[in-house]
Amino acid sequence: MILKTRIKEYRAKYDLKQEDLAKLVGVRRETIGNLENGRYNPSLKLAMDIAKIFECTVEDIFIFVE
């Protein structure tokens, strides 16, 4: 299974740059870029922190596909 994310879509909706989101959740901008490009799977804490910023569930942002 592959983990897909909707982070970029949510960032656009909230008018946030990768760097803005990174600061809000305490990671580097590169981490957000790697998440968006599928090169990094987030820890549960990071996934929950991102979902909290966007006021949604982890499942709304991170989706497993075959």
C-beta neighbour count of 3 within 10 angstroms: 14
Rounded CA-CA distance 15/4 in Å is 21
Question: Which pLDDT does position 1 carry in this prediction?
Answer: 84
Q: Is the pTM of the predicted complex or chain greater than 0.85?
A: yes
**pLDDT per residue rounded down to tens, the chain (66 residues):** 889 999 999 999 999 999 999 999 999 999 999 999 999 999 999 999 999 999 999 999 999 998
In this structure, is the dihedral angle defined by the CA atoms of residues 15, 18, 22 and 25, taken in order, positive or negative? Answer: positive
The domains found in the chain, sorted by start residue, are 2-65 (1.10.260.40)
* Cα Rg of the chain, angstroms: 11
